[in-house]
Amino acid sequence: MEGYSQDTCHAYVTGVETSYGYVPSLTAASCFVAFFGLSMLIHTAQVIYYRAWWCAVFSIGCLVELLGWAARIWSAKCPYAQTPYMMQITTLIIAPTFFTAGIYVILARLVSTFGRNSSLMPPKLYVWIFCICDVIALGVQGTGGGMASSSSSSSSSSQTTGTHIMVGGIIFQLVSITLFVALATDFVLRLSKRKPPHAIRSNTPLLLLGGATVFSLLLIYIRSVYRTIELLHGWTSATMRNEKLLIGLDGAMMVPAVWVYNLLHPAALLPQIQRNAGCVDAAQVFQLEGHLVSDVSVPAREVEEGRKDDCVTLLKRS
């Protein structure tokens, strides 16, 4: 970018290459800003409405995504400016870390609901271990992203070091997600063995939240694999300089990964899951065979007062 200041805005000049290797799409960046901005507003309203402050991580993740794509809008208008280029690298790399933190808490809440025997680890350890892993991944990716982007026009060795650090952070996150998936699978297997089939089938909120979590985690995983491959190929590779891949395997993955929790919000579904689990536990204590479902006596310790009719309706459906 010889002859162009990094701190001023210049329109694209044919033959003068940008740090991206292309001019970012204004349309694509604007669409993602709208998607993440709307999701952030809805998530924030849901956090306040349900008083589920831990769900604020979804709002924060959306904000970080929004900042990244807003930086690309800036780059679309000022393709040679380094500030938005550096900004979008760091923010888009670290944003999914906030979403995975929320997913870890969801499993911890489910383990609390179904009991210690439903998991290899106590629920608190899910929060401590995996959220600490998220913080480490966040710090490593942010540090590497800052080094790589700030040295994009100076020391190539420093840029390489920053890239390796950033890749290390993403791989570390992939490993922690993989371990989490293994533990979540163990939870499902234990639950299916401990509970009769109708207990799972009749707990619709559990199926909805479980499906949303699998869906979101799969999209985040795909995105992380893409980002790892992209960075390993290098900053001047065809993979890095293909905006369609970024749009399809990063932005288009992350939008539904976070929007699914707007539609199936954990704070709305978890209390229903707990109530339904209590109903089924009460029915298991009472031997249903040979008795009318309406005769089931629901223990007060399992289901809050006034919920007996809800339990009877649930059991009839099963």
Locate tokens 């210049």: which residue? 10
pTM of the model: 0.83
CB 19 within 8 A of CB 153: yes
CB 57 within 8 A of CB 34: no
Domain boundaries, the chain: 26-294+306-317
Ordered alpha helix ranges (H), the chain: 26-50, 56-77, 82-94, 96-114, 123-125, 131-150, 156-194, 197-201, 204-233, 243-246, 252-263, 266-285, 308-317
Give per-residue pLDDT as tens, 59-110: 999 999 999 999 999 999 999 999 999 999 989 999 999 999 999 999 999 9
Q: What residue type is assigned to position 132 of the chain? A: I
Give per-residue pLDDT as tens, 171-202: 998 999 999 999 999 998 988 887 767 767 77
Q: What is the C-alpha to C-alpha distance for residues 89 and 20, in angstroms, rounded to an integer?
A: 10
Tell me, which fold does domain 26-294+306-317 have in CATH? Rhopdopsin 7-helix transmembrane proteins (1.20.1070)
Question: Is it the case that residue 248 has pLDDT exceeding 70?
Answer: yes
Q: What's the number of CA atoms in the CB half-sphere (13 Å) around residue 178? A: 9
DSSP for 296-312 reads: PPPPTTTS-TT-HHHHH
The whole-angstrom distance between residue 113's C-alpha and the CA centroid of its chain comes to 22
Q: What is the C-alpha to C-alpha distance for residues 284 and 150, in angstroms, rounded to an integer?
A: 61
Q: What is the C-alpha to C-alpha distance for residues 127 and 308, in angstroms, rounded to an integer?
A: 33
